[in-house]
Chains A and B, each alone.
Chain A
Amino acid sequence: MKVTIDGIPVEVEPGTTILNAARQIGGDIVPPAMCYYSKLKDSGGKCRTCLVKVSKGSEKDPRPMPKLVASCRTTVMDGMEVQNITSPEVIEARKGIVEILLLNHPLDCPVCDQAGECHLQDLAFEHGSAKTRYEFDRRTFEKIDIGDKIQLHMTRCILCYRCVFVADQITENRVHGILNRGDHSEISTYIQKAVDNDFSGNVIDVCPVGALTDKTFRFKNRVWFTKPVQAHCACDKCSGKVTLWYKGEEVIRVTARKDRNGEVEEFICNTCRFDRKKTSDWVIEGPAKIANTSVISANHYDFTPLPVIKTNLQLQQANENQFERDTRL
């Protein structure tokens, strides 16, 4: 089937969602997704950040869809035309979604361990406005201890349900779920039962915000001061392919490897994640590739800086004027 996303045509299998078609093209036109996770069945359709405009339904029925649709849940039709970043309507709607997602988010990024690799932070930076119009107190929760390996910050949760799907699908017995409903919904392990399944640590990696973080890494260091290194080991429970986060000579965190959509490539087990924190446990493959737009690659000085003045004529003129003024002095 042939679809066009922001003017770029792509051939995809029938039954592919618009989001996955866009991911096959890659680049700026991929809609952001906070809840959809390609490795988790039934995920998606909750956060609404992946809204796109369908300007032509299909070849047979070229009428546009009346409202913006969630691209993670809408399958493509032959001849469909989709607008993502080329549609001001979509950008405006996404800005609204970001504002709503941030209504109850505590914005404690300076404290949060996820800062620097947080999808909500990136999304807010790209689409949100700096000010909120919300005047009421943000919701608070009683602290729930879900074990000594995983830290739950319910206030930061955006209810994407990814961790619940992990608990449902990856682990064998579900110890993780959502209590209450509406504004009071909260992620919890039932009756404060510790999460002791072998793969439960993956809820940390799938969490798009800092609601579930690694307790063994808690406040150890900021993400952008650590160096990611690809490594593997012979593990009998999982594939053993991980990213080690070094600070100096010390491994301070182990995570699964992330692909270019920010999703883990393979889920790893808790032994790899929490217990193997020595270099001798691992076979090092090399430094992990980090986009140079990411704060993690900041201060590493191995990129070519952009020229200060681009092709903006106004800036060039201002610069010339400034130069003349300075030289005369």
Chain B
Amino acid sequence: MEPLSNKRKVLVQKPLNFWERIYLPAIAKGLSITMSHFFRKPVTIQYPEQKREFSENFRGMHSLKRDEEGRERCTACGLCALSCPAEAISMIAAERKKGEENLYREEKYAAVYEINMLRCIFCGLCEEACPKEAIYLDGDIVPAEYLRKDFIYGKDKLVEAPLNQ
């Protein structure tokens, strides 16, 4: 049928000449390209043994900070969970008891604090919402796991190590 637009391009296949028909020059050329890559600097690195330098504003795994006296800063106000567009954060608050003043900064603290790393999109809004400067996305890339449940990070993985350790 006659094409309506004249955009159709008719492909003309020329017959191969002698050198093209024996294929050997083409194979030699292809192999030389492959071989030349052996002597180049590899573009990949051996992650996780080697790591590239992150940019200064890289957002990785979350950490829950402690203050200068080693007390947990988080007061379970829920603003991080509210701001989270992926709804990855959940927490249960508890009241600080007598004698726990050296553990928690305010009278309320997060007894359970969970971040689902599969849901998290590392946007950093939790960091921005936090009124207590308690959460920062200053960690590494979240490591791979085999089970989905292992991606739900509790306080054991999120809270910063105490000062004197």
Contact = CB atoms under 8 A, between A and B. Distances in A.
Nearest to B75: A110
Interface residues of B, number: 16
Contacts of A108: 106
Interface stretch (A19-27, A219-227, A314-322): A219-227
A111 B77 CA distance: 6
Interface residues of A, number: 15
B119 interface: no
A219 B93 CA distance: 6
A111 B107 contact: yes
A224 B131 contact: no
Contacts of B108: 110-111, 219
A15 B93 CA distance: 49
Contacts, number: 37
B89 to A, nearest CB: 11
A115 B82 CA distance: 13
A234 interface: no
Given A115-B77, A219-B95, A219-B108, A109 B131 contact: yes
Interface in B62-119: 75-79, 81-82, 87, 93-95, 106-108
B95 A218 contact: yes
B144 to A, nearest CB: 30
A298 B79 CA distance: 11
Helix, strand, loop or mixed for chain B's interface? loop
B132 interface: yes
A220 B94 CA distance: 8
A222 B107 CA distance: 15
Nearest to B81: A225
B77 to A, nearest CB: 3
Contacts of A299: 82, 87
Q: Is the interface of A mostly helix, strand, loop or mixed?
A: loop
B126 to A, nearest CB: 14
A36 to B, nearest CB: 30
Nearest to B74: A110
Contact of B131 (A110, A220, A221, A298): A110
A202 to B, nearest CB: 24
Nearest to B84: A299
Interface string A98-134: 0000000000111100010000000000000000000
A290 interface: no
B95 A225 contact: no
A224 B129 CA distance: 15
B78 A222 contact: yes
Contact of A224 (B78, B93, B94, B132): B78
B93 A110 contact: no
A295 interface: yes
Contacts of B94: 219
Nearest to B78: A222
21 contacts: A109-B77, A109-B131, A110-B75, A110-B77, A110-B79, A110-B106, A110-B108, A110-B132, A111-B77, A111-B106, A219-B76, A219-B94, A219-B108, A220-B93, A221-B78, A221-B93, A222-B82, A225-B81, A225-B82, A295-B82, A298-B82
Interface of A: 108-111, 115, 218-222, 224-225, 295, 298-299
